Structure 1
Amino acid sequence: MDNSGDPSTRSWSTPVGAGIAGCVGGLILLGGAILVANDPAGSVLMGIAGVLLVGLGAYTLIVRPRLELSPGNPATLTVRSLTGRRSYTPDRVERIRLLSMRRVGRRVGQLEMDVLDDDAEPGGPDGGFSDDARLLVFSRWDLGTDLISVVDELRAAGFRVDDDR
């Protein structure tokens, strides 16, 4: 899902409606927990579920966009989390990998990235991957779109992508 204002920049994140629905559903559960106060166990369980759902909804609304690709020479990949934004150029991304696995009778995908922070040395001792690489994992929920289209755009921007399609 492209949520950017600049047409040359692509960004992906969980749809706004999903975040709002999570917050509203969590508030409904919290209200229900108050209404069933005469059932302590049910009230506690509904309260915990409500707090978790509000937290998930708020997270999806705060951490936007989750992944952003800015064109240029070199292209820049920006990842946003609760701790802030981090940007990576193709030389600081060791590997991007699209995984497809079977779960509960259907195929689900994950986008894995091995990235190097500013103080990390590229390449391991045997010429492989660095021991200082951080693993970032994104699902369709995180990016709000089909992972194959994201992988294709990252590859077109100059990032090295491994996929098992």
Structure 2
Amino acid sequence: MWIKPVDNLSDDPQGVDEQRWATPMPAVFALAFGGFALVIAAILTDTDPAGRFLVTVAALGLWIIAGLAAYQRPRLWMNDSTVSMKRLTGVQTYRREEIVRIKTVKYPRLGRRVPMLEMDVRRAGEDDDRLVIFGRWDLGTNPQDVYDALERGGFVPEASQ
């Protein structure tokens, strides 16, 4: 009988051989619900056609963001030998040797500094690095926690640390 090891230290236990990070589904549902609320508000607005138009555009914007967040789930995941990320263009998978640098950087946003996870990746045979940045919205958790998990998995190159 085979028993699969599980990480029970968090509220969302995951297999040790694979971890996933994505935008939380309650946030995606809240965006979709907000879109419906705005459509209802636009329908109930009788006297202001310009306001009705703007509220409808805002509802469409919320639905687009919710759809993109739902489509790109999970946003980042790792297993024993690769790190994969889902983008609008599809799934990109990188082996350990294709990861040039991973680090967390604090960027100023809305008057405070928020952490972001930066990954530089380079496909075999390519000369240029690609910079991929993930924030808390993309990962559903603190980017430092994801960095720590990637480091434990052996994906952070020595030069990055």
**TM-score range, shorter-chain basis?**
0.7 to 0.9
TM-score (norm 1): 0.80
What letter corresponds to residue 154 of structure 1 in structure 2?
L
Listed one character per residue, the Cα deviations across residues 53-85 of structure 1 (whole Å, up to 9, x for unaligned) are: 0111111111110000101xxx20000012211
1:158 lines up with 2:154 in the alignment: yes
Q: Per-residue CA shift, 1:6-34, capped at 9, x if unaligned? A: 55210000111100110111121122222
2:116 pairs with 89, 110, 113, which one? 110
Matched to 2:66, the amino acid is G
Instruction: Give the Cα–Cα distance (whole angstroms) in 2 for the partners of residues 157 and 6 of structure 1.
Output: 13
Aligned residues of 1:33 and 1:44 also touching (Cα < 8 A): yes
**2:68 is equivalent to residue 62 of structure 1:** no
How far is the alpha carbon of 1:105 from its aligned partner? 3.9
Aligned-pair CA distance for 1:140: 0.5
Alpha-carbon distance between aligned partners in 2 of 1:65 and 1:159, rounded to the nearest angstrom = 18
* Amino acid in structure 2 at the alignment position of 1:50: A
Which string of whole-angstrom CA distances, capped at 9 and with x for unpartnered residues, describes residues 118-161 of structure 1? 5523xxxxxxxxxx222211100100011111101111222236
What is the match of residue 38 of structure 2?
29
SS in structure 1 at match of 2:149: helix
Q: How does 1:21-100 map to 2 (within 5 A)?
A: 21-71=30-80, 75-100=81-106
Q: Distance in 1 between matches of 2:100 and 2:11?
A: 25
Point out where structure 1 has 5 or more consecutive residues left out of the alignment: 122-131
Counterpart residue type for residue 17 of structure 1: P
1:44–1:18 Cα change, 3 Å? same
Whether the aligned pair in 2 keeps the contact of 1:29 and 1:47 (CA below 8 Å) is yes
The 3-state SS of whatever aligns with 2:93 is strand
- Secondary structure of the 1:64 match is coil
Question: Counterpart amino acid of 2:86?
Answer: R
- Distance, in Å, in 1 between the alignment partners of 2:12 and 2:71 is 14
Change (3 A) 1:5 1:83: farther
Instruction: State the superposition RMSD in angstroms.
Output: 2.2
User: Amino acid of the residue matched to residue 134 of structure 2?
Assistant: F
**CA 4–39 in structure 1, closer or farther in 2 if over 3 Å, else same:** farther
**1:69 corresponds to which letter in structure 2?**
M
TM-score by length of 2: 0.82
Aligned length: 150
SS in 2 for 1:158: coil
